[in-house]
Structure 1
Amino acid sequence: MTKKINQENNFYYMTCALIGLLVSSSLVEVMPSGILEYALEGVIGVTFLICILSLRFDHRWKRFMQVLALCWVIASVLRLVLGIQEIDLLVLLIMFAFFWGTFKSISRQILFTGSVDGNKVVGSVALFLLIGLMWTIAYLLIMEFAPNSFTGMGPLPWGENFSQMAYFSFVTLTTLGYGDISPISSFSQVVVYMEAIAGVFYMAIVVASLVSSNQGKKHG
């Protein structure tokens, strides 16, 4: 029997969905170009659905996310049917808004609130993944306007660059900086080092949150 999603396990589902998105985006690259777009957008759609189900306890957040998900589906279908590439910008903006809304909802539930448990620790991992995904979308948006903003990246549709940009985003977020993909425009360089700063501060905030919650539990 499938275990019901509740406030004790919801972040496990969320984190698995985000990891599944990242893994799947790398696997679909081996598919033919025409099928790749459908496969990746299908995976993204499933991820959106799991996010909505996992965080259904916040009703205002749920309504907002449902509207965003519906707009994303409509925009994706219009782009695929009509072949209007300019809709890519709208699709990416909706994805960014969705990930941002998810990040905001999770952070309210786990940072500096209540006692620490396994679900909250996994939720902090989901937050980290969402930061990397939001910057991934930001880089893809930059490439929509300036395709030559990064070395090692070709001017391809965003679906074909998604996996590579996700890789670059998380390498930057963890400050590894392999150098196989690099920003060359001034604006892209600013966005990249802002992500590196966000990654460092996020770790400090999570540690402070866990320590604060643990001390509160002891005093209680």
Structure 2
Amino acid sequence: MRRALADTVQWWGRNRHAILFALLIATIAMGPLLSVTGSGGWLLNASLGLTLLAAAVAPTRDRVRRRGLLVLAVAAIVLGLAPIRTGFGETGPLTLALWSAIAFVAATRSFRYAMSSARVDREHLLAGLNTYLLVGVFFGAIWVAMEKAMPRSLLLGGAPIDAMVLPDGIYFSFVTLASLGYGDFTPATPIARGLAVFEVVFGQLYLAIMVARLVSLRIAVLARDDPP
């Protein structure tokens, strides 16, 4: 039993960023799917909770910090899923803000891990992708929390939003992060506009930094393999 548990922990450690990447992609895809099927929003909350948990338990040298993050993640999941919601967007703004704060810490850790590599491998590349996806998914939670706490922070087609839900928040977050600017959702208050500008700037700078990092690592590998 102990041997099996140890093997599971080692497997998790070797594939933690691949697992987190799969959970993030599933969470992003789940919103539109649930909207079409009419399923309960608790599935999306559960997916977000599992993603948060996977991000929180990623191995790190600082055990105290990891355990503290794990406790916060479990508390956020309990707040988000009990009582289980039957529709979208039932989670309160404080819980959504807590989810986003934990995700910010997890994204920071993923970014540091991605930048620590001297070569490009699967886990470090996925860590870089996870940072981008974590920011996009959990910025979506921030947008929903803002609209709940400060109604009319966002407009839909120039009109107030009746009830912003998590799939809408995730959609608007990635549209903003990638600076697509479709124009369906628009920030209407100074705070919302400032947050949108911050997310756009982060998205563009992050992609530039990651591309520069990958190119520099590739050039370094070629220089070692083919010395002058």
TM class by shorter chain equals: 0.7 to 0.9
2:71 match: 67
Change in Cα spacing, 1:194 to 1:80, as seen in structure 2 (3 Å) is same
8 Å CA contact 1:75–1:90 kept in 2: the answer is: no
1:154 CA displacement: 2.4
2:100 match: 96
Alignment map for 1:119-138 (pairs within 5 Å): 119-138=123-142
Does residue 1:145 correspond to 2:145, yes or no? Answer: no
Counterpart amino acid of residue 73 in structure 1: I
Q: Number of residues paired by the alignment?
A: 209
**Partner deviation per Cα, 1:72-98 (whole Å, 9 max, x = no partner):** 1332356659xxx99712211210122
Does residue 1:56 correspond to 2:59, yes or no? Answer: yes
1:215 CA displacement: 4.6
Does residue 1:23 correspond to 2:29, yes or no? Answer: yes
- Tell me, in whole angstroms, the C-alpha distance in 2 between the residues paired with 1:40 and 1:87: 11
What is the SS of the residue equivalent to 1:36? coil
Name which of 181, 184, 188 aligns with 1:180: 184
Greater Cα radius of gyration, structure 1 or 2: 2
Change in Cα spacing, 1:73 to 1:144, as seen in structure 2 (3 Å) is same
What is the SS of the residue equivalent to 1:147? coil
1:10 match: 16
Q: State the Cα RMSD in Å.
A: 2.9
What is the SS of the residue equivalent to 1:67? helix
2:48 match: 44
Counterpart amino acid of residue 113 in structure 1: S
What is the SS of the residue equivalent to 1:56? coil
Alignment map for 1:205-220 (pairs within 5 Å): 205-217=209-221, 218-219=223-224
What is the SS of the residue equivalent to 1:176? coil
Q: Which segment is superposed worse, 165-174 or 113-122? A: 113-122
Change in Cα spacing, 1:11 to 1:78, as seen in structure 2 (3 Å) is closer
TM-score of the pair, normalised by structure 2: 0.79
8 Å CA contact 1:112–1:212 kept in 2: the answer is: no
8 Å CA contact 1:133–1:166 kept in 2: the answer is: yes
8 Å CA contact 2:136–2:174 kept in 1: the answer is: yes
What is the SS of the residue equivalent to 2:13? coil
1:166 match: 170
What is the SS of the residue equivalent to 2:67? helix
Counterpart amino acid of residue 4 in structure 1: W
Name which of 134, 143, 154 aligns with 2:161: 154
